[in-house]
């Protein structure tokens, strides 16, 4: 038996990396009966039958698991957003951050396409990034001239997952890191100012001290599993000050003696973060119950 990592899955065939040697393996029939299937990122045991193929006999327990795109055992979630084309948005960023936290991950923020942004746009984004740094996020603002290795160098080892909207440059970053990866990329649509959903599946690529995952861009990442409580807990600074509200179940809307609202007044909590929190809270309240 050999142990390796699923680096991609295409039509029921799982490519497994065992210390740099690749095997195309199929899951054992038993998995189908139990309705569990391996996903990219899984640590699996495969049998030794032949060098190039085999059967997946066992899936090791996952330490975490993203639902969309399906990928497991993530060490670092990287939210990639472009400065322009498509435009930078703190509203979207806050949504992605909350989703990352809901999976137990504190995302890192990478903003691309600095070279395409105007001086005013750069100044605005840098100002926002300083706020996110203060909240506790690590951020990077990069352009075409930055080497990908220098961007990835500061990341922690293990599996780093690039996620973000279509067209922000996730695959381009990987190609720049290792041109041999030869990943398909596409110009963004000028009419819609967004990407064309070029990457269609999750795949892990080797990087120094681990792997890096390219993923399909999303337009509206899965938010359905987040309830009001999770939302409140996953805005770092709101949750921090919320501990001092008069009511323990304060949602920081109109409750008396709300420390969060006081801190917004004082400028300790950025006004825009609070507004995004309220918007997302409303979105959850208005969610239609699905059967």
Ligand X SMILES: Nc1nc2c(ncn2[C@@H]2O[C@H](COP(=O)(O)OP(=O)(O)OP(=O)(O)O)[C@@H](O)[C@H]2O)c(=O)[nH]1
Interface residues toward ligand X, by CB under 6 A: 112-113, 115-116, 143-144, 166-172, 185-188, 195-199, 216-217
Q: Where are the alpha helices (DSSP H) in 234-270?
A: 236-242, 259-266
Least spacing, CB of residue 12 vs ligand X, in Å: 23
Instruction: Kindly identify the residues of this chain, within the stretch 184-243, that bind Mg ion according to CB under 5 A.
Output: 198-199
Q: How far apart are CA 138 and CA 132, in angstroms?
A: 8
Q: Is the Cα dihedral 101, 278, 166, 116 positive or negative?
A: negative
Dihedral, CA of residue 46, residue 207, residue 132 and residue 241, to nearest 10? 30
Q: Is 172 annotated as belonging to a binding site?
A: yes
How many C-beta atoms surround the C-beta of residue 41 within 10 A? 25
> Nearer Cβ to ligand X, position 9 or 259?
9
Least spacing, CB of residue 98 vs ligand X, in Å: 20
Tokens of 175: 């190609």
Instruction: Kindly identify the residues of this chain, within the stretch 253-282, that bind Zn ion according to CB under 5 A.
Output: 258, 260
Least spacing, CB of residue 178 vs ligand X, in Å: 14
245 binds Zn ion (CB under 5 A): yes
> Nearer Cβ to Mg ion, position 140 or 199?
199
Q: Is 258 annotated as belonging to a binding site?
A: yes
252 binds Zn ion (CB under 5 A): yes
Yes or no: say if 268 and 241 are a contact pair by the CB < 8 Å rule: yes
Binding residues for Zn(2+), by number, are 245, 250, 252, 258
């Amino acid at each position: 038996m050999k142990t390796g990592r699923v680096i991609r899955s295409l039509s029921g065939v799982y490519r497994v990396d065992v210390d740099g040697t690749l095997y195309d393996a199929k899951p054992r029939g038993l998995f189908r009966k139990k309705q569990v299937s391996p996903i990219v990122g899984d640590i699996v045991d495969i049998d030794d039958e032949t060098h190039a193929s085999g059967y997946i006999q066992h899936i090791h327990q996952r330490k975490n698991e993203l639902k969309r795109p399906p990928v497991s055992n993530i060490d670092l979630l990287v939210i990639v957003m472009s400065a322009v084309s498509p435009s930078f948005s703190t509203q979207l960023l806050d949504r992605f951050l909350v989703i990352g936290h809901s999976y137990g991950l504190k995302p890192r923020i990478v903003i691309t396409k600095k070279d395409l942004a105007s001086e005013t746009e750069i100044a605005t984004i840098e100002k926002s990034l300083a706020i996110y740094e203060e909240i506790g996020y690590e951020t990077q603002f990069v352009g075409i001239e930055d080497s990908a290795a220098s961007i990835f160098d500061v990341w922690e080892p293990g599996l780093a997952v690039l996620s973000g909207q279509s067209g922000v440059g996730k695959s381009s970053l990987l190609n720049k890191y290792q041109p041999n990866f030869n990943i398909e990329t596409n110009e963004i649509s000028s009419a819609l100012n967004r990407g064309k959903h070029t990457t269609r599946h999750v795949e892990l690529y080797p990087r120094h001290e681990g792997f890096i995952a390219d993923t399909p861009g999303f337009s509206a990442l899965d938010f359905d599993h987040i309830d009001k409580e999770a939302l409140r807990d996953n805005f770092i600074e709101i949750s921090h000050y919320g501990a001092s509200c008069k009511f323990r179940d304060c949602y920081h809307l109109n409750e008396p003696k709300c420390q969060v609202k006081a801190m917004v007044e004082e400028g300790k909590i950025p006004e825009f973060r609070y507004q995004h929190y309220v918007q997302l809270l409303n979105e959850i309240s208005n969610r239609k119950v699905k059967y």
